[in-house]
């Protein structure tokens, strides 16, 4: 995040004949308190800069190895004609009544020989979803919407032992498939998806193939636009860079296919982390299985439409990756994997440590501004500017590059969103993700918090969000308070003529205020407008 935070008080200072002498004599005016503030400040900034440089490295790996990109229509080997392997599709769900029919309909339209194909709906629900899901499955078993009877089974658990990982593991016990595809409830796989993926498993060493998420409701709101850019960067540059470079990367929990043998040899699904997908991915690659990423195979999904849902999702991922890092990194570092694979695994699994560091930076920022108020142009160029390029600029470069790769003719339209991507992804999530990271570091267990899905696509479409809306707690108020603190630092920067700092401090203000206000206000107006209309309405038409 911002390092370019201290500019001289007025341009006339640049031309002071005693400027250099003033600058260096300032170094000797620090007292013990000043040093105690500045040492941790610069340590934090340097660590954040290293993670920023890593973003540049991922871009470089992506571009350097572009010729190694795997494509769906160019598998090195293919299964013999008429000998496709048996495929099981698993659909793990929990209290997701609004998207079940859309999911099942899409999966039942997947083009694959029906004598080598089965679908498992793995339902852990505790609400009306059970009745809705069972009724939909029965319709498709009989034949529905012009389709022949479908090989789909409904499996319901009366407990959530192991959460999603437990449901997947229980489904595997009765699965017939040599290969297993997994889709979360908010996904809508296209009919050709399985045929685009399956032939890549003709290579016997391939254990998993991941495809790219796209976004059904990208244009629903400003928030979903920002979320889409964040996910595009992950799927294009992180997955693309790592897979092309031949280092470890992870299954994303959905829109991917596994060889069942790879799952079993890696130790099966385990539920001691919240990112069971990443955990299994690293264990499988450590025992020798290879992974593929098909960037040109798209699988649409629904983005969270509420800030609380988005923060729930991001906190689960942040906590789960730290948990997986604690569990897996010692094994990775002791393995015989190449050193660059180990380094990339370290960056990947520890990246969320940046959120607690951002809290430290927020605390130290104002004291550091006051202490360094004497700073001149030379120190800014030698110290702050390189840190700025390494940390803040790497974020904008990373996400713009992702948009340029996906949308080469229209990527420039995303430029307007970049400051908000930085403010939301790098600042606004700091409080919730810091809490999640600290819980992971100190071994605090928590339930698998699902991300609510509402089957919305268009602007203004009613969401029925109140059914699954989360309790807000005190965190939004903390975010508003910290945003106000940074608003005061903006005032201080302007009053001391540190004008160069203002744009970056404003990112902090917007990031904290936006997440806090949206968490508190989102849904309020919708409830007021629709209260009478929905008061006696069931959340979903059961048993259509």
pLDDT digits (tens, 9 = 90+) for 50-65: 999 999 999 999 999 9
User: In terms of DSSP bridges, do strands 117-123 and 87-93 run parallel, antiparallel, or are they unpaired?
Assistant: parallel
Cα distance between residue 46 and residue 384, in whole Å: 10
User: In terms of DSSP bridges, do strands 152-156 and 117-123 run parallel, antiparallel, or are they unpaired?
Assistant: parallel
Cα distance between residue 288 and residue 276, in whole Å: 19
* More confident: 96 or 190: 190
pLDDT at 1 over 70: no
Q: What average pLDDT score do residues 25-54 get? A: 79
Q: Alpha carbon of 185 to those of 99, 136, 159, 254: distances in Å?
A: 6, 14, 19, 9
Residue 15 confidence (pLDDT): 40
**What's the sign of the alpha-carbon dihedral 536, 538, 543, 544?**
positive
Residue 361 confidence (pLDDT): 85
**Helical (H) or strand (E) element with 470:** none
pLDDT at 544 over 50: no
Half-sphere exposure of 3 (CA within 13 A, CB side): 29
pLDDT tens sequence across 219-247: 999 999 999 999 999 999 999 999 999 99
Which one-letter DSSP state was computed for residue 425? I
Cα distance between residue 268 and residue 276, in whole Å: 10
Q: Among residues 124, 169, 184, 279, which one is catalytic?
A: 124
Cα distance between residue 277 and residue 274, in whole Å: 9
The strand pairing partners of 397, in sequence order, are none
pLDDT at 394 over 90: no
Cα distance between residue 193 and residue 520, in whole Å: 39
Residue whose C-alpha is closest to residue 477's, from 420, 511, 516, 443: 516
Range from 216-220, 294-298, 520-524 carrying the lowest mean pLDDT: 520-524
- pLDDT category, 527, cuts 50, 70, 90? very low
Please spell the DSSP secondary structure of 46-114, one letter per residue. Answer: HHHHHHHHHHHHHHHHHHHTGGG---TT--SS-PPTT-PPPEEEEEEESS-TTTHHHHHHHHHT--S-G
Half-sphere exposure of 15 (CA within 13 A, CB side): 3
Q: Alpha carbon of 41 to those of 162, 283, 314, 360: distances in Å?
A: 41, 37, 26, 8
Cα distance between residue 257 and residue 348, in whole Å: 22
Q: Among residues 169, 184, 199, 277, which one is catalytic?
A: 277
Alpha carbon distance, N-terminus to C-terminus of the chain: 51
Residue 61 confidence (pLDDT): 96
79-352 CATH:
3.90.550.10
> 124 an active-site residue?
yes
Q: What average pLDDT score do residues 384-405 get? A: 82
Q: Where exactly are the structural domains of the chain?
A: 11-63+353-532, 79-352
Q: What percent of the chain has pLDDT over 70?
A: 84
Residue 374 confidence (pLDDT): 63
Average pLDDT, rounded, for the chain: 86
Half-sphere exposure of 66 (CA within 13 A, CB side): 5
- pLDDT category, 146, cuts 50, 70, 90? confident
Cα distance between residue 299 and residue 417, in whole Å: 24
pLDDT tens sequence across 325-348: 999 999 999 999 999 999 999 999
pLDDT at 465 over 80: no
Which one-letter DSSP state was computed for residue 274? S
Residue 454 confidence (pLDDT): 76
pLDDT at 393 over 90: no
- Length of the chain counted residue by residue: 544
Q: What average pLDDT score do residues 412-429 get? A: 90
Give the Cα-Cα-Cα angle 104, 107, 113 (nearest 5 degrees): 135
Name, in order, each residue with C-beta under 8 angstroms of 311's C-beta and a sequence gap of 6 or more.
Answer: 429, 432, 515, 519
Range from 117-131, 132-146, 383-397, 503-517 carrying the lowest mean pLDDT: 383-397
Whole-model pTM: value is 0.88
SS3 506: helix
Instruction: Identify whether the C-beta of residue 258 lies closer than 8 Å to the C-beta of residue 207.
Output: yes
pLDDT tens sequence across 86-105: 999 999 999 988 899 999 99
Q: Alpha carbon of 487 to those of 58, 421, 475, 510: distances in Å?
A: 34, 19, 18, 9
């Amino acid at each position: 995040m911002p390092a370019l935070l201290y500019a001289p008080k007025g341009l006339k200072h640049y031309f002071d004949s005693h400027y250099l002498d003033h600058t260096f004599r300032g170094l000797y005016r620090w007292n013990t308190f000043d040093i105690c503030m500045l040492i941790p400040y610069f340590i934090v900034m340097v660590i954040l800069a290293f993670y920023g440089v890593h973003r540049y490295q991922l871009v470089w790996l992506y571009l350097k190895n572009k010729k190694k990109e795997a494509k769906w229509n160019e598998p090195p080997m293919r299964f013999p004609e008429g000998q496709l392997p048996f495929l099981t599709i698993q659909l793990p769900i929990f209290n997701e009544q609004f998207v079940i029919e859309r999911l099942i309909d899409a999966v039942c339209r997947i083009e694959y020989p029906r004598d080598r194909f089965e679908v498992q709906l793995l339902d852990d629900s505790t609400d009306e979803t059970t009745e809705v899901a069972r009724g939909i499955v029965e319709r498709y078993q009989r034949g529905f919407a012009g389709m022949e009877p479908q090989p789909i089974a409904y499996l319901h658990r009366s407990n959530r032992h192991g959460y999603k990982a437990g449901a997947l593991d229980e489904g595997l016990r009765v699965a017939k498939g040599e290969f297993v595809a997994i889709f979360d409830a908010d996904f809508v796989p296209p009919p050709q998806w399985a045929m685009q993926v399956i032939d890549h498993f003709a290579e016997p060493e391939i254990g998993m193939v991941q495809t790219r998420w796209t976004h059904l409701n990208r244009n629903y709101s400003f928030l979903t636009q920002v979320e889409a850019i964040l996910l595009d960067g992950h799927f294009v540059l992180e997955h693309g860079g790592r897979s092309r470079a031949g280092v470890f990367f992870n299954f994303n929990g959905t829109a991917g296919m596994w060889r069942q043998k790879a799952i079993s040899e890696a130790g099966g699904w385990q539920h001691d982390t919240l990112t069971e997908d990443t955990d299994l991915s690293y264990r499988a690659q450590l025992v020798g299985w290879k992974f593929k990423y098909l960037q040109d195979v798209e699988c649409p999904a629904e983005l969270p439409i509420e800030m609380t849902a988005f923060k729930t999702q991001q906190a689960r991922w942040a906590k789960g990756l730290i948990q997986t890092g604690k569990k897996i990194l010692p094994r990775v570092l002791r393995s015989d994997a190449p050193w660059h694979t180990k380094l990339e695994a370290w960056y990947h699994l520890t990246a969320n440590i940046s959120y607690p560091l951002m809290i430290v930076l927020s605390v130290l920022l104002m004291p550091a501004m006051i202490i360094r108020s004497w700073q001149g142009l030379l120190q800014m160029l030698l110290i702050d500017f390189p840190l700025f390029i390494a940390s803040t600029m790497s974020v904008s470069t990373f996400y713009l590059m992702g948009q340029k790769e996906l949308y080469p003719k229209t990527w420039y339209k995303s430029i307007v969103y970049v400051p908000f991507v930085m403010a939301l992804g790098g600042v606004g999530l700091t409080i919730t993700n810091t809490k999640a990271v600290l819980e992971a570091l100190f071994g605090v267990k928590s339930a698998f918090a699902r991300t609510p899905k509402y089957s919305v696509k268009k602007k203004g479409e009613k969401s029925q969000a109140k059914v699954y809306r989360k309790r807000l707690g005190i965190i939004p108020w903390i975010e508003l308070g910290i945003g106000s603190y940074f608003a005061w630092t903006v005032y201080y920067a302007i009053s001391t003529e540190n004008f160069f700092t203002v744009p970056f401090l404003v990112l902090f203000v917007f990031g904290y205020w936006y997440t806090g206000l949206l968490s508190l206000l989102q849904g309020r107006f919708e409830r007021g407008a629709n209260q009478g209309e929905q008061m006696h309405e069931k959340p979903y038409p059961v048993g259509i």
